[in-house]
Amino acid sequence: MTESQKSKCSKIIHGHAVAAAAGNAVPVPGLGIATDIVTMTTMAMALAAVFGGSIPESVAKGMAITAIKRTMLKQPIKTIAKELSKIIPGLGQIVAPSVSVAMLEAAGWTLAGDMDLRFNKSSK
């Protein structure tokens, strides 16, 4: 991954993480995961473009779900805390967005690495 690609990925990942945080501020358990999947789907499509590729929405959604699952399995306590915090008024609007940003950042960089391998391998 070149420095230019890293910079573009960083902007995409941070922007999408902030958008997901806004969706996770809504105090409805389960809604955060749906928001994360939608956000990761659009993030995957944007990241593919950084590496000169293009992927259909259905493929991006599959990649997003896989990346989120991997991140959730690595950080199960954060995932549970994010959803359970929404039950407590006020706390959920602070905890859930913060955890979501951390998880989407990690999943986004995993996805960027996958895209780099996928599209740079095919161009060699």
pLDDT digits (tens, 9 = 90+) for 92-117: 677 778 888 888 888 899 889 988 99
Token pair in block for residue 21: 């945080």
Answer yes or no: are the C-beta atoms of 51 and 118 closer than 8 Å: yes
Instruction: Compute the distance between CA of residue 73 and CA of residue 80 in angstroms, rounded to an integer.
Output: 11
Identify which has the larger pLDDT, 105 or 84.
105
The pLDDT of residue 124 is above 50: no
Query: What is the spatial distance between Cα 61 and Cα 71, in angstroms, rounded to a whole number?
Result: 15
User: Is the predicted pLDDT of residue 10 greater than 90, yes or no?
Assistant: yes
CA 113/CA 31 separation, integer angstroms: 27
Could you give the count of Cα atoms lying within 13 Å of 61 in the half-sphere of its Cβ?
Answer: 7
Q: Which residue do the tokens 């473009």 mark? A: 49
pTM: 0.78
Q: How much is the pLDDT for 21? A: 87
